[in-house]
Amino acid sequence: MEFIKVTEQAQPSVALIELNRPKELNALNKQLMEELRDALQALDKNEAVRVIILTGNEQAFAAGADIKQMADKSAIDMLVIDQFSTWDQIRKTKKPLIAAVSGFALGGGCELAMMCDMIMASETARFGQPEIKIGTIPGAGGTQRLTRALGKAKSMELILTGRFLAAEEAHFYGLVNKVVPVEMLLPETFKLAAEIAQLSPIAVQLAKEAINRSFETHLDEGLAYERRNFYLTFASEDQKEGMKAFVEKRKATYVGR
């Protein structure tokens, strides 16, 4: 891996992926995204990992898709390269994926953070979709996910002007889960990850799927999907253990079966 760094057990059951192209503010070129896809697919299969954290560095989570790589491309080149198909594979990650964002999360960087299940932000985090300033528009979900998170008025403002959203404002609008001082970003994110990692990984996966379904379908279908996943948890040892432990007034131990 040239552009990302993977630590499988950064803390017990929690993997850490660091975007590692600092000179280019972690601009997301094709290779980086392919490495990220490969790493996520491997971690998804790794039974020792229950939660994955994705982060950048203090200066930037990621400043967008790599403009230098795209600048000269024709529409047909873009269609043939189809760089966002890699992003679709990343979106299929089954385990909880938490973004820990410091500094710039712009364009594809903002879109990548929004593809994660939760976003922890440092006080220096700045989110935005500034593609309009370089004569294009968001292409990896920004117009859809930002609008779902912020509502129409604020998304229109951000996407049509290219303005940035500061961390506190992002928190106000519900784009991020929590804002913390820079030095607390990873410790707080690991704390959140550890809380999830001790729970039934089967229930966590089914809950994640059901929540995501709410963005993709109407209420009837979403409710049916949730109910199916709820019933399915009763096929797991973890559900038996969890409910038994509650009745016996002890802490449950979840094995992921």
Give the active site residues: 65, 108, 111, 131
| CB nearer to ligand CAA: pick between 104 and 127 | 104
Question: Rule CB under 6 A: is residue 252 a binding residue for ligand CAA?
Answer: no
Among 14, 107, 119, 185, binds ligand CAA (CB under 6 A): 107
Identity of the residue numbered 114: M
Among 6, 19, 27, 98, binds ligand CAA (CB under 6 A): 27
From the list 9-17, 22-30, 116-124, 143-151, the region that binds ligand CAA by CB under 6 A is 22-30
Among 14, 125, 140, 179, binds ligand CAA (CB under 6 A): 140
Q: Do 181 and 123 meet the contact criterion of CB atoms below 8 Å apart?
A: yes
| CB nearer to ligand CAA: pick between 163 and 171 | 163
User: Beta strand pairing status for 178-180 and 14-19?
Assistant: unpaired
Residue 63 CB, nearest approach to ligand CAA (Å):
3
Q: Do 102 and 59 meet the contact criterion of CB atoms below 8 Å apart?
A: yes
Residue 45 CB, nearest approach to ligand CAA (Å):
27
Tokens 């049509």, located at residue: 160
- Within 8 A by CB and 6+ apart from 104, the residues are 25, 59, 60, 61, 62, 63, 126
Among 6, 36, 49, 63, binds ligand CAA (CB under 6 A): 63
Of residues 64-83, those binding ligand CAA (CB under 6 A): 64-68
From the list 36-44, 132-140, 175-183, 248-256, the region that binds ligand CAA by CB under 6 A is 132-140
Rg (CA), the chain: 19
- Which phi and psi angles does 72 have, rounded to 5°? -95, 0
Rounded to whole angstroms, the Cα distance separating 242 from 175 reads 32
Q: How many CA atoms lie within 13 A of 207 on its CB side?
A: 9
Which residue ranges make up the site for ligand CAA (CB under 6 A)?
Answer: 24-25, 27, 63-68, 104, 106-108, 111, 130-131, 134, 138-140, 142
